[in-house]
Amino acid sequence: MLAILKRRYLDILASVYIYNEHRGYSSLDRVLEAVRARCPDDVGFISEVEKHRADERKHYLMFRRYFENRGEMPYAVDRTCGHIDRLIKMSFGCHIDELDTGAVVADGALFSKLCRIIMLTEIRGMNQIDILLDNELVKADRALVKIFKVVERDEPSHWMPYEAWLRRNGDAKARLSERLADFWVHRSLIFAKLPLLFLDRRLPRREDWYDAADRRGPLPA
């Protein structure tokens, strides 16, 4: 019984991560549009955001193969488990898919806010990885540890470019309301959402992969 509970905990954890990684790279497509339109001459910043997007896609594929190697599908979690989903909703009043990219490009304050939200999300993710790599249940799963080690290595390059751009433009410090929103989203996910998912015996597994609808060709070998 204990082994079953441990396996369920790790599957819930990995299911939340694979959702967030897919949500991350698919959302960064829209961020890239905004960055290219707002900062067309800032080649360095654009390339760093492109790398961020590529890393998120890479992380998603690692989690996908984690489940594939075990012959399982992730649990069907939704955007209530997404850190960036909920933080965008609290900060902009709409979901990521509804964010008006044109308005963000046209308004410097909105563009800076978007960069700060991404920066906060990635810093939070980096700190959480450190906690997970010290978790005894996680450390017992060598495959999951390998994935989290890659994520740990990549994470600094995901928030630093946004902080650097914000500093260059004199707007690097996150607002109190943004920090409070980040704190609330993180705490509610860790102490409310994850336990509820763990206890939900009727929680189904997905029937397809998140990237099934992506128009980016077959899964790389």
Give residue-wise pLDDT tens across range 161-190.
Answer: 999 999 999 877 899 999 999 999 999 999
Count of beta carbons in the 10 Å neighbourhood of residue 100 = 12
Query: How big is the chain, counted in residues?
Result: 221
- pTM of this structure: 0.92
User: Which domains does the chain possess?
Assistant: 2-199 (1.20.1260)
Which residue is associated with the tokens 């989690």?
Answer: 63
Give residue-wise pLDDT tens across range 88-143.
Answer: 999 999 988 888 988 999 999 999 999 999 999 999 999 999 999 999 999 999 99
Task: Output the six-digit token pair for 34.
Answer: 């905004």
